[in-house]
Every structure is written in structure tokens, then in C-alpha cells.
A = this chain, B = another copy of it.
Amino acid sequence: MKRLRMGMIGGGIGAFIGDAHRRASRLTNKFTLLGGVFDVDYERSKEFAKQEEISPDRCYPDIDKFIEGELALPADERIEVVSIVTPNHLHYAFAKKLIENGFHVVCEKPMTMTVEEAEDLARLVEEKKVVFALTHTYTGYPMVRQMKEMIKSGILGNIQRIDAQYYQGWINSIIHGGDSRITGIWRLKPEYAGMSSCMGDIGVHAFNLIEYTTGIQVQEVLSDLNSVKEDVELDLDGTVLLRFDKNIKGVLRSTQVAAGEENNLTIAVYGSKASLKWGQENPNYLYMLSDTEPTKVLKPAHAYNSEFAEASHVMPAGHPEGIYESLANIYNGVAKAIKGEKTFDGEFPTVYDGVRGMKFVKSVVESNKNGNVWMKLE
């Protein structure tokens, strides 16, 4: 085994999400972080590199220097894959440059600020034939993968209804804690967060879970969004009616102001023969309901699971793995893809998931703006 040479853009001192990516990559033991641009402030970036025992030579002041420096190295020393964990509005520009220069990319979500940018990245990925992963982290959970495989097997019969929910409450303390804090939070400002807060930040995860687990695509949305307080510009809460083909309907609910909710992402798929329900806060429990049999509780590390689910955990039954292991599963898929190994269908979210996500957010925002009318996702 030879660890992949990894770089990182963003994720320096105090950056929560960069830390998560590094932990996940270390869990796989298939990556070594060798360099990057960890902070816009070069001094802080270098301080971070020192902390992480990264060579100062490979701590670059900006993305262009990073690309220039790495390309100057022999191919077998050069960083192969780069994780982008900057603020949202910078994802596109950085991803574009990296892909154009042949780097594989792991990009935090949301992939871009607009559908056009997302489609541009998709074209580039195809052209440059790099591996591109978007970290819809929740798709790395073994029982989400089991859900995907079970649905693919047809065990549910015809799908009749699909519901997804993503509820958090943490923005309450911001919007009800005084105006000064509101202006301070970048997630509530369109120039940094893009066209949506709630739907763009978390609703899109629920959307992704729907398409990921069922393998079918949302055709149309009709949304009703709420910014809750007058001085908030973006949506903090919303409900989205969903239409799929074959007369399948559903609903996606998402909010950042449900007091006391932590990270309550759930999905339920109701079929003519059986149904499946999963929730992120107890990710190792998958519930299968039917009209004629007892409800079944599926858990990891059992022979009844699919090969894909069983390849997505390490511990024996009853030893709970969590969110870092889920992200590590995605990194593991990326490593396999870069090495040309055979991956499972859905082992990591791709640039096309990013395109779908942006289309979802755009359609939801427009449906709401246009008076709660149906908008197609195309």
C-alpha cells in the first residue's frame, strides 16, 4: 500500500470542517497530507503547517503558487488529490483551477454558487478525467448504503411516497440573540452563502439522500420558504413538495430554527410492499416496515446486509461507528477510484450530484419567489 499524496485548500487553524476531512482521511490510512493553502493569511497557514508537521516548502501562499509548486515536482512526489474546504463562495474557482491542472478533487458541499458553475465543473471533470468527489457525508453511513441496495433490489415494490427531513435549531440563538450577531454570521449573507441558507446548507443533503437511496430523480418542486425574522435575507426554514416520475410524490422539510433539534436528518421511502426509514442521529439503525410482518431493525455487521453496506464499516456488531467513519468511507471510495480499483455504485458522491444539488436549490428558491409554483429540475 502506498498512501495517496493529499493537499488541502482551506481548513487551517480552528477550521472545523478541514479537521473533519483530515480525520476521515487518516482513518482510511490511504492518504498523507503533504501540503496546501490552509488559510488566506499566509502566516497563519504556515503556523498550521508547522503544527501538522507539514513541510514549510509545501505550505503555499495561494492556489496558483500551490499548482505551480506541485506541478514542478516529479509526478511521483506531486500531490495527487486536493480537498477543498474553504468558505462556499470559493469552491468553484479553486476546484476549476485544480481540475484544469489534473488534480483529483474532494470538494466540500455546496459544490458551487450557481447551476452554471456546477455544470462547468462537470464538463471539466469529464474532459480532464479526474476523480471528483463531493462530500455528501451522510451517504457514507453503512445503513444508508444498505437502504440504497435494498431499494435497488426491488424489495419495497413500487415506491409510492418519499419523505426527507433535515431539522436543526442552532440559528435560533443567532436570530433571537440580537441584530449584531445576525450581520456577523456569513451563512445568512447571500454573498457568502449563495441564494439560500436552509435549503442550500442542509436541505440539499436531504435532497441528495433521496436521490442517492432511491436512484430516482426529483422532477419538480414547489416550495414555501420562510426567513422567519424580518431582518433575515435568506430562508431559514422551508417545505418542498416533490414530484418524481410514475406519479410518485413526496415532501422535503428543512429548518434551521427548530428549537432543540440538533442534526435531525431523516429519510423514509414508502413502497407498495414495504418501507424503509433511517435517521442520522442513530445512524446504525435501519427500519423496515411492512403491512404483514413485524418491523425489522437492521444494523451493521450482519450477514443479512449487502456487500456494499458490509464494506462500509469495520467494527463487529454493536460497536457504533459514526460520522467520521462515514466520511472516511467516502474518502476510501475516492482512494479506490484514484487507484483504479473497482468501486461500488455510490461509493462517493460525484460532480453530477453537485449539479443536481444546485438545480434543486435554484428551483426551490425560484418556486418560492414565484409564488409557490411548480418548477422543473432540468
Inside 8 A of A58's CB, which chain B residues have their CB? Answer: none
- Shortest CB–CB separation between residue A233 and chain B, in angstroms? 15
Taking CB atoms, residues of chain B closer than 8 Å to A211 are none
In Å, the complex CA distance between A303 and B3 comes to 39
Chain B CB within 8 A of A258 CB: yes
A159-205 at interface with B (beta carbon < 8 Å) = 160-161, 163, 168-170, 172-173, 176
A71 part of interface (Cβ distance < 8 Å): no
Q: A160-B237, A288-B294 are in contact. List 12 more A-B contacts (CB 8 A).
A: A3-B53, A20-B314, A26-B27, A239-B250, A260-B274, A260-B275, A260-B288, A262-B319, A281-B320, A292-B304, A297-B297, A321-B323
A60 within 8 A of B: no
Interface residues contributed by chain A, number (CB under 8 Å): 89
- How far does the alpha carbon of A131 sit from the alpha carbon of B268 in the complex, in Å? 43
Min CB gap A204→B, angstroms:
17
| Interface mask (A50-64 → B, CB under 8 Å = 1, otherwise 0) | 111100000000000
Chain A 1-23: CB-based contact to B (< 8 A → 1; otherwise 0): 11100000000000010011011
Bound Cα distance from A226 to B258, whole angstroms: 28
A-B contact pairs, 27 of them (CB 8 A): A2-B53, A26-B29, A160-B228, A160-B257, A169-B275, A170-B317, A172-B291, A173-B291, A222-B224, A222-B372, A228-B247, A239-B241, A239-B249, A257-B270, A259-B274, A260-B275, A260-B290, A263-B318, A292-B303, A294-B298, A294-B302, A296-B297, A297-B297, A315-B324, A320-B323, A322-B324, A324-B325
Indicate which residue in B22, B251, B303, B324 contacts A29 across the interface (CB closer than 8 Å). Answer: B22
Inter-chain CA distance A295–B299, complex, in Å, is 9
A224 to chain B, nearest CB (A): 5
Complex interface: chain B residues within 8 A of A226 (CB): 160-161, 247, 249
Copies of this chain, count = 4
Cα distance A135–B305 when bound, in Å?
30
Q: Which residues of B have CB within 8 Å of A52? A: 1, 29
Complex CA–CA separation, A75 to B77 (angstroms): 30
Contact residues in B for A257 (Cβ distance below 8 Å): 160-161, 270, 272
Within 8 Å of chain B (Cβ to Cβ): is A264? yes
Does A343 interact with chain B (Cβ within 8 Å)? Answer: no
CB-CB contacts of A254-278 with B at 8 A, as 1s and 0s? 0101111111100010111111000
Shortest CB–CB separation between residue A167 and chain B, in angstroms? 8
Interface string of A298-310 (1 = CB under 8 A from B): 1101111000000
Contact B289 A299 (CB under 8 A): no
CB distance from A308 to the nearest CB of B (A): 17
Cross-chain contact B253 with A163 (CB below 8 angstroms):
yes
Task: Decide if A295 touches B259 in the complex (CB within 8 Å).
Answer: no
CB-based contact B258/A275 at 8 Å: yes
Give the residues from 22 to 73 in chain A that come closer than 8 angstroms, CB to CB, to chain B.
22-23, 26-27, 29, 50-53
| Interface hub of A170, A241, A280 (most chain B Cβ within 10 A) | A241
| B170, B263, B304: the one within 8 Å of A294 (CB) | B304
B253 and A251 within 8 A (CB): yes
Shortest beta-carbon distance from A147 to chain B in Å: 13
Residues of B within 8 A of A19 (CB): 314
